[in-house]
Structure formats: C-alpha cells, structure tokens
C-alpha cells in the first residue's frame, strides 16, 4: 500500500511546481519533500519525475500516480461529506409491511417522493416472520408487524390499530350472517385467511361464530395476490376476512358488504427496527408519515 503522506506530498509538488514552495505549503523542509518523493518512487519501483536543474516534468508513470492521487483525494472528500451530511429528504429507505398496509401507505409514500425527488422509498410486502428476519439481517431497516417479537434484539413501538372485516357480496347486506350461511357461501382463502378467521371469530362477540370450526368451512377459491382476493367476493362467489384497508383500496368496493361485528375486531400495528441501531434522518421523515396515517386508530 502506498504511503498516503508521500502521495499527498507528490500531489502537492505537482500542483505547486516547485520543491521549496511545496515545503512551505506543507510546513516541511525541502530535503523532507525530496525524501518523500524518493520513497514514493522506490515504493512504485519507477521514476515519477524527470528532473532538469530546478525544474521537473512528470514521467508517464508520474502522470498515472498523480491521477491516482487525485482520485483518492476526491473519494476521501466524498466520504467526509457523506459522514457530515444527513439530509432528512434524500436517500433510500427500505421498509416492509403486509400487503394491505403497502396498498394503504404506498400512495402517501409516492406523494412524499414527489415533494422530495431525492428521497427513494422501497416497500416490500411480507408476513410478520419474514419482516423480523429481514430486520435482523439488515435487508430492511424498518418494518410494520401485527405481533410483538419475542427476541430483545428488536425495538418496537405501537403506532396504531388495523380493523378486520368479514366481507360478503353486497346482496347479503340485509341477511343475517350465521355459520350456516358462511358454509353455504364458501371461503375465498388466501395466505392469511386462517389467522384472520380465527382472530375475527374469537373477538367479534358472536358466540355462534366463535364456536365455528374454520377447518370445516368449504373453500370456493384461493388466491395469494392481495388485490385479487376480493374480486370473487364482489362477484358473489364466497366470503373472506381481510383488514379494512384492503376493502378501502378495492376498486369495486361498492359490490362488497362488510358485515357489522357486535364487537370491533382490531390488530395492533407495531413499528419494528433493530435495537440500538441509529437510522439516518430520512427515516424520521418516513416514520412520521406512517404515524400520521394511523394516528386516528389509536
């Protein structure tokens, strides 16, 4: 590795063009400057200067070393600048949440990016466990989950609540939804349907639904694409349970009926990140937006 002190002396000498003035600029003696150049030439195993009386010219190797010195100097300046500069409205933010929350938050993220073009927000739709793993591995920096992690390596904060909805076709809005009716309709299943059904039936305040065995419900369809789950429901082909945000963002929501529960069913939303990790200030901007979105649900 080339000694950076020798390299800086060489760079200064090339730019000043005189040994004595270089020594003055670097607060060195002239023999000290000459010694640095000699050691640099020995390290490079070639002559860098072609001397003639009190002047010199760069050899071809000298030009290469000078360009290298300039490159290193520029990279160091950029490094120091990046360490000093933490713009709250510039840089990339990596976040992860459920597909439903992604649908709800992404339009707001796009508006924020339109306001601050140097800000880039990358959103990954993932289940809880994958979010925990990605935060731990550093693949993402911030996640939104619906359960508290067991491991103390995470820092969590409750930011709001998300309502769960039992959804049927609009033609059933005046019909009582009983276990028998749900068996008749059939379930439009999806990756989270078992979890949502269990939670909803346990907490909705309907004793008949609480006793229903979800494993015995006939399935009339299955889809793992969030934006497609409500499509068969809107055509009267079954029922499902999803977060309220999925209903709000469905284009044909006028074809849906959200069954009013006796007791509102909600899941807590937690902001999660790796404990003791300091994030850039741009994350404060994005996290503030997320908290504002769910502030009314607390």
Give the span between the Cα atoms of 215 and 201, in whole angstroms.
13
pLDDT category of residue 287 using cuts at 50, 70 and 90: very high
The range of the structural domain enclosing residue 72 comes to 4-84
Domain containing 275 — which CATH number? Answer: 3.40.190.10
Give yes or no: residues 8 and 47 share one domain.
Answer: yes
- The predicted-structure confidence for 94-111, as pLDDT tens digits, reads as follows 999 998 999 899 999 999
Domain containing 29 — which CATH number? Answer: 1.10.10.10
Give yes or no: residues 70 and 218 share one domain.
Answer: no
- pTM for the complete prediction? 0.70
Give yes or no: residues 205 and 242 share one domain.
Answer: yes
Which residue in this structure is represented by tokens 């040994």?
19
- The predicted-structure confidence for 46-105, as pLDDT tens digits, reads as follows 999 998 877 899 999 999 999 999 999 989 888 886 776 688 998 899 999 998 999 899
Give the span between the Cα atoms of 115 and 89, in whole angstroms.
9
What total number of domains does the chain contain?
3
Give yes or no: residues 130 and 224 share one domain.
Answer: no
Give yes or no: residues 119 and 201 share one domain.
Answer: no
Give yes or no: residues 199 and 127 share one domain.
Answer: no
Give yes or no: residues 38 and 76 share one domain.
Answer: yes
Among 51, 84, 117, where does a domain finish?
A: 84
In percent, how much of the chain has pLDDT > 90?
81
Residue 157's nearest CA partner among 58, 271, 255 is: 271
């Amino acid at each position: 590795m080339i000694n950076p002190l020798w390299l800086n002396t060489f760079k200064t000498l090339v730019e000043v063009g005189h040994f004595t003035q270089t020594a003055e600029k670097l607060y060195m003696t002239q023999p000290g400057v000459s010694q640095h150049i000699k050691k640099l030439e020995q390290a490079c195993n070639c002559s860098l200067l072609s001397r003639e009386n009190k002047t010199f010219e760069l050899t071809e190797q000298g030009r290469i070393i000078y360009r290298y010195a300039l490159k290193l100097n520029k990279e160091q300046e950029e490094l120091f600048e990046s360490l000093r500069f933490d713009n709250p409205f510039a840089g990339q933010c990596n976040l992860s949440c459920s597909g439903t929350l992604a649908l709800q938050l992404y339009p707001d993220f796009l508006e924020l990016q339109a306001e601050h073009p140097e800000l880039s927000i990358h959103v990954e739709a993932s289940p809880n466990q994958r979010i925990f793993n990605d935060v731990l591995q550093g693949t993402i920096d911030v996640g939104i989950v619906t359960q508290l992690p067991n491991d103390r390596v995470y820092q969590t904060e409750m930011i709001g609540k998300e309502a769960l909805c039992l959804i049927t076709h609009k033609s059933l809005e005046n019909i009582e939804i009983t276990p028998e009716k749900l068996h008749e309709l059939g379930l439009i299943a999806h990756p989270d349907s078992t979890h949502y059904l269990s939670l909803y039936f346990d907490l909705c305040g309907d004793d008949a639904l609480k006793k229903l065995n979800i494993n015995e419900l006939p399935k009339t369809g299955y889809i793992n694409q969030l934006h497609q789950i409500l499509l068969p429901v809107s055509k009267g082909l079954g029922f499902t349970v999803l977060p309220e945000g999925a209903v709000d963002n469905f284009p044909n929501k006028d074809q849906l009926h959200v069954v009013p529960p006796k007791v509102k069913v909600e899941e807590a939303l937690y902001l999660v990140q790796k404990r003791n990790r300091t994030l850039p200030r741009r994350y404060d901007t994005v996290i503030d937006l997320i908290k504002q979105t769910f502030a009314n649900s607390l």
